[in-house]
């Protein structure tokens, strides 16, 4: 009964946070400044912050686990960090003269691949276990929503539909808002991963 109450409370909190997010975006939109939904705007920094908190929660979840249950949370943290790098591509292109944002992105990707390969047996067991959990479903849903946002917030999708009414700002607005929703799901998944106590069967 106590566990059921805890789940219901968490669902209530997540729903409240989602409503607050929607309300905040409506508040920002009320200023009529489309720049806040573009590069360097409020929404991009909000996405950056959500991904940062998600990565921190995933790393904290890894630290709480036994050696046999750390790899999956660390890999997912790398994925969140990669998304953070992608969101700051313009800023990193200016700051890094050689390679731009692709340089730190490549470091993260290679590091994640090497970590997964070096611990492939443990990672394989972890992935098989996590694939059947709500945490993985939430993370996957977040990823799918982000990809969906990029597909629908795309010029070739909107321009034929809107014709002369097409404005590139429509593309940006749709893409960024859907990406924010996907990142919200990832944040919830990372929190659930942190709250999860891990599999008692985790071993070295």
Average pLDDT over residues 185-201: 79
| Total count of domains within the chain | 1
Average pLDDT value for the chain: 88
Supply the range of the domain harboring residue 45. 35-195
Q: Which residue has the higher pLDDT, 161 or 124?
A: 124
Helix 42-64 with 168-195: angle, nearest 10 deg? 20
Placement of tokens 């409370």 in the chain: 9
Does some domain include residue 119?
Answer: yes
Burial of 62 (0-12, 13-18, 19+ CB in 10 A): buried
Q: Cα separations (Å) of 99 from 84, 168, 187?
A: 16, 27, 29
> Angle CA(67)–CA(130)–CA(52) in degrees, nearest 5?
75
Does some domain include residue 52?
Answer: yes
The token pair at 17 is 């946070």
Does some domain include residue 115?
Answer: yes
Does some domain include residue 103?
Answer: yes
Q: What is the pLDDT of residue 1?
A: 59
Q: What is the pLDDT of residue 154?
A: 74
Does some domain include residue 1?
Answer: no
Residue 51's Cα: distance from chain center in Å? 5
Q: What is the pLDDT of residues 61-93, one digit of tens each?
A: 999 888 778 899 999 999 999 999 988 888 888
């Amino acid at each position: 009964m106590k566990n059921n109450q805890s789940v219901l409370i968490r669902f209530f909190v997540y729903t409240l946070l989602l409503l607050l997010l929607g309300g905040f975006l409506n508040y920002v939109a009320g200023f009529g400044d489309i720049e806040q939904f573009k590069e360097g705007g409020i929404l991009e920094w909000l996405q950056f912050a959500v991904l940062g908190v998600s990565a921190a929660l995933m790393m904290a979840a890894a630290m709480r686990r036994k050696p046999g249950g750390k790899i999956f949370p660390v890999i997912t943290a790398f994925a969140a960090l990669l998304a953070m790098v992608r969101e700051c591509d313009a800023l990193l292109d200016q700051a890094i003269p050689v390679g731009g944002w692709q340089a730190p992105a490549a470091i993260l990707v290679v590091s994640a691949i090497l970590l997964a390969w070096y611990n492939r047996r443990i990672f394989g067991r972890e992935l098989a276990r996590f694939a059947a959990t709500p945490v993985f479903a939430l993370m996957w849903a977040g990823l799918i929503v982000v990809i969906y946002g990029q597909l629908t917030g795309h010029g070739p999708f909107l321009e034929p539909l809107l014709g002369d009414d097409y404005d590139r700002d429509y593309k940006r607005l749709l893409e960024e808002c859907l990406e924010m929703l996907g990142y919200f799901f990832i944040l919830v998944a990372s929190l659930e991963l942190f709250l999860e106590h891990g599999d008692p069967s985790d071993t070295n």
